[in-house]
């Protein structure tokens, strides 16, 4: 794995792009994606629990603001 500033910046940009795509999905769509990737009710137990709770409450995901380090 590369450790330079350029490689770090590239990985950060790729991660932000993946997160932006995931944020567009509803909780139901995220569960369906987990089922497609891992199999029906296989793996990602805590994530599945969180998504089921969001669906039960009928809430849309709230974005947490994180502090960025300089």
Is residue 67 very low, low, confident or very high in pLDDT (cuts 50, 70, 90)? low
How many domains in the chain?
1
Residue 65 has pLDDT above 70, yes or no: no
Chain mean pLDDT for the chain: 84
Please report whether residue 66 resides in a domain: no
Please report whether residue 20 resides in a domain: yes
Place of tokens 């809430």: 59
pLDDT score, position 2: 74
Please report whether residue 62 resides in a domain: no
For range 34-63, the mean pLDDT: 83
Give the domain extent around 31.
5-57
Please report whether residue 39 resides in a domain: yes
Is there a contact between 23 and 61 (Cβ–Cβ < 8 Å)? Answer: yes
**Would you state the torsion angle of the CA atoms of residues 50, 52, 56, 57, taken in this order, to the nearest 10 degrees?**
20
Please report whether residue 63 resides in a domain: no
pLDDT score, position 20: 94
Q: What is the CA radius of gyration of the chain?
A: 15
């Amino acid at each position: 794995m590369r450790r330079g500033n350029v490689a770090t910046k590239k990985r950060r940009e790729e991660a932000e792009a993946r997160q932006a795509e995931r944020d567009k999905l509803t909780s139901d769509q995220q569960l369906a994606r987990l089922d497609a990737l891992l199999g029906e009710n296989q793996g990602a137990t805590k994530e599945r629990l969180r998504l089921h709770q969001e669906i039960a409450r009928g809430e849309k995901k709230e974005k947490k603001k994180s502090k960025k380090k300089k």
